[in-house]
A and B are shown apart, each in its own frame.
Chain A
Amino acid sequence: MGCISTKHTKQTPGYEDPKVLASETAFTVSEVEALYELYKKLSFLIIKDGLIHKEEFQLALFRNSEKQNLFADRVFDLFDVKHNGVIEFGEFVRSLSIFHPDAPEEDKIAFAFRLYDLRQTGYIEREELKEMVMALLNESDLRLSDEVVEQIVDKTFGQADSKGDGRIDLDEWKEFVKKNPSLLRNMTLPYLKDITMAFPSFVMKSEVSDEDM
């Protein structure tokens, strides 16, 4: 334990240069290196191959690798940009960057839209919205009658679907979010502001690496 340079340890498959990732994201090089420490922990939780599988993602989120959750599935699928069933390090950093407090709001809005566009048609459709509300109700103790759910979905659509064509496109979504900024609440993770503090063991390693550079 202690002062071991990350430079000399074996890197996980899909490892990318922190300097390149920092240049493309809201993170500094040190923060990307701290994220690598986190990534390694997550990617060895179950399947020890240095890649984050869905079961490992679920285990990290819920302390249960079996727990099914529609929204966690969607987040995983969006992080898995290559759609090869795993989150690689570069995908992890680029995706998490959207959740950084300093990331452009435009990116957060677009990511949230893609999350809710379950069938990836480019629109949030009424049926999708109802499906997501029902999924949330199933996961929680909230109990609402089908009639009330229909009313809520209708009302939300009435507000968001300004063109009245029965589906919400990205422009309508942007307008809707402007009027309801709380909808982006989940798109910012304050933890990312001090990721190097969250992984102090990394800081010791990083100092050795930086001297080497």
Chain B
Amino acid sequence: TNLNAFDIISLSAGFDLSGLFEEK
């Protein structure tokens, strides 16, 4: 497989900080 472990990890929703900027 050509998958890199860090690329897989980077798919986590925990890294997507855009939620901080959404309307509350």
A residues with a Cβ closer than 8 A to B are 38, 41-42, 45, 60-63, 69-75, 96, 99, 116, 129, 132-133, 135-137, 139-140, 142, 148, 151-153, 155-156, 159, 180, 182-183, 185-186, 189, 191, 195, 198
Closest to B12 in A: A71
Cα distance A73–B14 in the bound complex, in angstroms = 8
Cα distance A153–B12 in the bound complex, in angstroms = 17
User: In the assembled complex, which residues on chain A have CB atoms less than 8 Å from the CB atom of B10?
Assistant: 182-183, 185-186
Cβ-defined contact, A69 with B5, below 8 A: no
Cβ-defined contact, B8 with A75, below 8 A: no
Cα distance A131–B13 in the bound complex, in angstroms = 16
Return A199 CB to nearest CB of chain B, in Å. Answer: 9
Return B21 CB to nearest CB of chain A, in Å. Answer: 5
Q: Which of A38, A129, A142 contacts B20 (CB 8 A)?
A: A38
Return A149 CB to nearest CB of chain B, in Å. Answer: 8
Q: Which of A137, A151, A183 contacts B7 (CB 8 A)?
A: A183
User: In the assembled complex, which residues on chain A have CB atoms less than 8 Å from the CB atom of B15?
Assistant: 71, 75, 186
